[in-house]
C-alpha cells in the first residue's frame, strides 16, 4: 500500500520561501494513474486543494490561489515537493501530501507550518 510522509521546516520567516517534501513508499512515484497532490488546512478551518503533479512533470494548480506555489517531482528519490514563495502569516497551516488515484486517495499525516519572525 502506498504511504506518504511530509517533511520540512516547521517554522518559516515572513517573506521567505517554504519548501516541503513528500516521500512516497510502497510504490513507485512513476506509477501511472497517480496525481501527486498538496492540500492544506488552516487552523480550525476546512481543507484547501493546492494542486498536483503527474509523474511526467505536468502540473495543475488551484486557480483560486495566487500563483506563489510550485510543485516539482524527483522520480529518482520517489519524492515530490511544494514550494511557496513570499510566505505570510496567512500561510500558516497543516500541509498534507496526497496520492490521488482518481477513485482512491492516500494521505500523509500532515506537517504543521508556522510563519513567524
Burial class (CB in 10 A: 0-12, 13-18, 19+), 97: buried
Cα–Cα distance, 13 to 19 (Å, whole number): 12
Number of residues that bind another protein (CB under 8 A): 22
Alpha helix ranges (H) inside the chain:
none
Residue from 5, 48, 65, 70 binding another protein (CB under 8 A): 48
- Using rule CB under 8 A, residue 52 touches another protein: yes
Q: State phi, psi for 67 to the nearest 5 degrees.
A: -80, 55
Q: Pattern of binders to another protein over 66-105, x per CB under 8 A?
A: ------------------------------x---x-xxxx
- Using rule CB under 8 A, residue 57 touches another protein: no
- Using rule CB under 8 A, residue 47 touches another protein: yes
- Using rule CB under 8 A, residue 10 touches another protein: no
- Maximum distance among all alpha carbons in the chain? 41
Asked if residues 108 and 19 have their Cβ atoms less than 8 Å apart, the reply is: no
Binding site for another protein (CB under 8 A): 35, 37, 39, 46-49, 52, 60, 62-64, 96, 100, 102-105, 107-110
Amino acid at each position: 500500500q502506498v504511504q506518504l510522509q511530509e517533511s520540512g521546516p516547521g517554522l518559516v520567516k515572513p517573506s521567505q520561501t517554504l519548501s516541503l517534501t513528500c516521500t512516497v513508499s510502497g510504490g513507485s512515484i512513476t506509477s501511472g494513474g497517480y496525481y501527486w497532490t498538496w492540500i492544506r488546512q488552516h487552523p480550525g478551518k476546512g481543507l484547501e486543494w493546492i494542486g498536483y503533479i503527474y509523474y511526467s512533470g505536468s502540473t495543475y494548480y488551484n486557480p483560486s490561489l495566487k500563483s506563489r506555489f510550485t510543485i516539482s517531482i524527483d522520480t529518482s528519490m520517489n519524492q515530490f515537493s511544494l514550494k511557496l514563495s513570499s510566505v505570510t502569516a496567512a500561510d500558516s497551516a497543516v500541509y498534507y501530501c496526497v496520492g490521488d488515484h482518481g477513485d482512491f486517495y492516500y494521505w500523509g499525516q500532515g506537517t504543521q507550518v508556522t510563519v513567524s519572525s
